[in-house]
Amino acid sequence: SETTWQNGTAKDEEMKYFTRSDSKSFITTNWGLKINDSDSLKAGERGPTLLEDLELREKITHFDHERIPERVVHARGSGAHGYFQSYGDWSNLTRAKFLSDPSIKTPVFVRFSTVAGPRGSSDTVRDVRGFATKFYTEEGNFDLVGNNIPIFFIQDAIKFPDLIHAVKAEPDRSFPSAASAHDTFYDFVSLSPETIHMVLWVLSDHGIPRSYRMMQGFGVHTFRFIAENNDWVFVKFHWKPKYGLGSLAWDEAQKISGKDPDFHRRDLWEAIENGDYPEWEFGVQIIKPNMEFKFDFDLLDPTKFIPEELVPVIPLGKMVLNRNPDNFFAETEQSVFHIGHVVPGIGFTNDPLLQGRLFSYLDTQINRHHSANFQNIPINRPVVPIHNNQRDGFMQTVVNKGRVAYYPNSLQDGSPRLTPPSHGGYKTYGEQTGGRAFRGKSPSFFNFYSQAQLFYNSLTQIEKQHLINALRFELGLVETMSIRTRMIYHFNYVDHDFASQIARIIDVPVPTAIYANLNNSSPAVSIEQYSRNTIR
Ligand code: HEM
């Protein structure tokens, strides 16, 4: 097959076609004219410089336009090329071809990122890490746009702009009100109880990875695998690092941040340059359709994970990253990932966060690239041909031939034809939909603290201490006392001792113990009641 190459993947070969090694013997303008590139054209030996100097103007103009907007989130990232190889034939689970044959090496490009900081921020900050993988499969690109934490802060995409506005720099001063923690973030999360589970993960050692090579990856949402005969299962995607999971201690992270803000970027680059190729195992948790309502949380709720004790992760294949980009901007910066890019055999669910993401990525990428043609940029192009009737637009680099750009037509042979699923075309899983329009949360989404408690209880003593120390530090930097108090209110539902240990240090009242049924949607004491009684 075209994607099995001995020395690199089909994508590597394609990238070579677009790579330019600059000549050492001469320099030209962008239009091929050989020039002297280091002296501007002057009227006389001591100037002034002439407007006529197109060589100067072209060079400066290009420079003036070198930056594109950074990603609105996940602005800082590092990428690498590699390949994915299936362990076997999984066609009983999914008709996705890249999972059907262990002899196929599917090219991949992975971008790791932090979420909150701008493009020039430091690597070792406490934050969620993005783990986005583009599989250039024989059936088109599949993007698995995940994170290093298996759950998310919010349950509904409509809150995403609020979450990000709260976590990024404050709009009036353009810096967060204290080091990495700040009033706006904890204000938002203290008023959004669904975030508490993820807050614990981020404030634990998972929030400061040792290396991108030592990070897990998760698709977060529940997806679908659909087999050729249309049998389907729910799946959760997992990446498990061959190196195992590694974190920095908070003190180390802060020191490294000062000495080498590029620590993770350098680590990934050097490992690959030295032939120490990072590797992950790809696995899925499989949930049969008849199990959909058998959990004490909703499978569509992205603030919940499925404990591996309940549903084990089945390893399906491995990914190796073995080549650094030739050019950071052309590849890592210009790459686009979209949760909606799937191949036959992979489908979505009604998770309301996932549904909002399906809209957001293309929209933001058109903004970032000022064009609808960024799929033609080498790093984004699939390794299979693109045929459709889309035309024109800024930066169109493809020369489409013929007089016909519509379907159906009778004027031109070879114009794109519709591809029925029987010929390998994508087939949407025919989920039953319907019901009255409803703006709100399903009652099954009101279970806020049970998995936060499960997570806390799963930590070892030293990991608990790290989490407590991190929260004492971060909440101690929050200036508004009512925000600190609200955070303790939530933590009291997770674990009374945990909440008390933090409360004592950050100078807010120690709450009384609550023995609540955590799966019950209405807490024993309402947050308003609690705040009234305790806020000074
Ligand atoms: C970018 C993951 C939720 C909007 C990214 C990236 C990752 C990611 C890994 C970086 C991609 C890259 O390296 O280029 C996630 C995960 C989410 C989540 C795992 C929740 C489970 C959301 C939501 C929205 C959103 C709810 C909006 C409704 C964006 C945007 C970008 C982005 C606008 C920038 C994309 C670009 O400019 O190319 N996300 N995200 N994300 N995400 Fe998400």
pLDDT average, residue stretch 368-384: 95
Q: How confident is the model at residue 4 (pLDDT cuts 50, 70, 90)?
A: very low
For residues 345 and 94, the answer to whether their CB atoms sit within 8 Å is yes
Q: How confident is the model at residue 367 (pLDDT cuts 50, 70, 90)?
A: very high
Please determine, for residue 416, whether its predicted confidence score (pLDDT) is greater than 70. no
DSSP string, 13-54: HHHHHH--PPPSS-EE-TTS-EE--SS--BSSTT-PBPTT-H
Question: How distant is the alpha carbon of residue 357 from its chain centre?
Answer: 11
Q: State whether the beta carbon of 215 lies less than 6 angstroms from ligand 1.
A: no
Q: State whether the beta carbon of 379 lies less than 6 angstroms from ligand 1.
A: no
For the entire predicted model, the pTM comes to 0.94
Q: Which residues contact 97 (CB under 8 A, 6 or more apart)?
A: 104, 137, 138, 139, 343, 344, 345
Closest residue to atom 26 of ligand 1, CA basis: 157
Q: How many Å apart are CA 258 and CA 124, to the nearest integer?
A: 9
The mean predicted confidence, pLDDT, of the chain is 92
Given the residues 147, 324, 373, 492, the one annotated as active site? 147
495-517 exposure pattern, b = at least 16 Cβ within 10 A, e = fewer? bbebbbbbbeebebeebeebeee
Q: Which residues contact 481 (CB under 8 A, 6 or more apart)?
A: 507, 508, 535, 536
Q: How many Å apart are CA 360 and CA 163, to the nearest integer?
A: 15
pLDDT average, residue stretch 115-130: 96
Tokens of 270: 């050097």
CA 533 to ligand 1 centroid distance, Å: 39
Q: CA dist 528 to 190, 415, 506, 510, 532, Å?
A: 12, 64, 21, 17, 6
Q: How confident is the model at residue 182 (pLDDT cuts 50, 70, 90)?
A: confident
Residue 206, classed as helix, strand or coil, is helix
Q: State whether the beta carbon of 132 lies less than 6 angstroms from ligand 1.
A: yes
Q: Which atom of ligand 1 is nearest to the CA of 147?
A: 19
CA 501 to ligand 1 centroid distance, Å: 35
Q: Which atom of ligand 1 is nearest to the CA of 151?
A: 21
For residues 305 and 236, the answer to whether their CB atoms sit within 8 Å is yes
Q: How many Å apart are CA 60 and CA 438, to the nearest integer?
A: 55
pLDDT for the residue numbered 531: 57
pLDDT for the residue numbered 506: 97
Q: How many Å apart are CA 93 and CA 233, to the nearest integer?
A: 7
Q: Name the nearest CA neighbour of 245 among 265, 215, 268, 274.
A: 215
Q: How many Å apart are CA 87 and CA 530, to the nearest integer?
A: 54
Closest residue to atom 36 of ligand 1, CA basis: 71
pLDDT average, residue stretch 117-136: 97
CA 73 to ligand 1 centroid distance, Å: 7
CA 511 to ligand 1 centroid distance, Å: 37
Q: State whether the beta carbon of 158 lies less than 6 angstroms from ligand 1.
A: no
Q: State whether the beta carbon of 147 lies less than 6 angstroms from ligand 1.
A: yes
Q: Which residue has the higher pLDDT, 129 or 180?
A: 129
DSSP3 helix / strand / coil % (the chain, rounded to 5):
30, 15, 50
Q: How many Å apart are CA 445 and CA 441, to the nearest integer?
A: 6
pLDDT for the residue numbered 516: 60
pLDDT (tens digit, 9 = 90+) per residue, 158-175?
999 999 999 999 888 888
Q: State whether the beta carbon of 77 lies less than 6 angstroms from ligand 1.
A: yes
Given the residues 74, 81, 238, 264, the one annotated as active site? 74
Q: Which residues contact 270 (CB under 8 A, 6 or more apart)?
A: none
Q: Which atom of ligand 1 is nearest to the CA of 356?
A: 28
Closest residue to atom 3 of ligand 1, CA basis: 357
Q: How many Å apart are CA 125 and CA 261, to the nearest integer?
A: 9
pLDDT for the residue numbered 25: 87
pLDDT for the residue numbered 410: 83
How many residues in the chain?
Answer: 536
For residues 129 and 268, the answer to whether their CB atoms sit within 8 Å is no
Please determine, for residue 3, whether its predicted confidence score (pLDDT) is greater than 50. no
Q: Name the nearest CA neighbour of 280 among 308, 250, 243, 248.
A: 243
Residues of the chain with pLDDT > 70, as a percent, come to: 93
Cα(first)–Cα(last) distance of the chain, in Å? Answer: 70
pLDDT (tens digit, 9 = 90+) per residue, 500-532?
999 999 999 988 998 665 555 555 556 666 555
Tokens of 123: 């690597």
Q: State whether the beta carbon of 128 lies less than 6 angstroms from ligand 1.
A: no
Q: How many Å apart are CA 238 and CA 134, to the nearest integer?
A: 15
CA 243 to ligand 1 centroid distance, Å: 26
Give the CA angle between residues 204, 206, 207 to the nearest 5°: 80
Q: Which atom of ligand 1 is nearest to the CA of 74?
A: 10
Q: How many Å apart are CA 491 and CA 508, to the nearest integer?
A: 13
pLDDT for the residue numbered 464: 98
For residues 338 and 143, the answer to whether their CB atoms sit within 8 Å is yes
Can you give 285-296 as a three-state secondary structure string?
EEECHHHCCCCC
Pocket test of ligand 1: the residue of 68, 70, 72, 74 to mutate, having most ligand atoms within 8 Å of its CB, is 74
Q: Name the nearest CA neighbour of 144 among 129, 133, 131, 130.
A: 133
Tokens of 351: 């998770």
Q: Is 74 a catalytic residue?
A: yes
Please determine, for residue 319, whether its predicted confidence score (pLDDT) is greater than 90. yes
**Does residue 212 have a known ligand-binding role?**
no
pLDDT for the residue numbered 48: 97
85 exposure class (CB count in 10 Å sphere: 0-12, 13-18, 19+): middle
Interface ipTM: 0.93
Please determine, for residue 240, whether its predicted confidence score (pLDDT) is greater than 70. yes
As a dihedral over the C-alpha atoms of residue 83, residue 84, residue 85, residue 86, rounded to 10 degrees, the angle is -170
Q: Is residue 263 within a helix (H) or strand (E), and if so which, with residue range?
A: helix 263-273
Give me the residues paired with residue 287 across strands.
234
pLDDT (tens digit, 9 = 90+) per residue, 55-110?
999 999 999 999 999 999 999 999 999 999 999 999 999 999 999 999 999 999 99
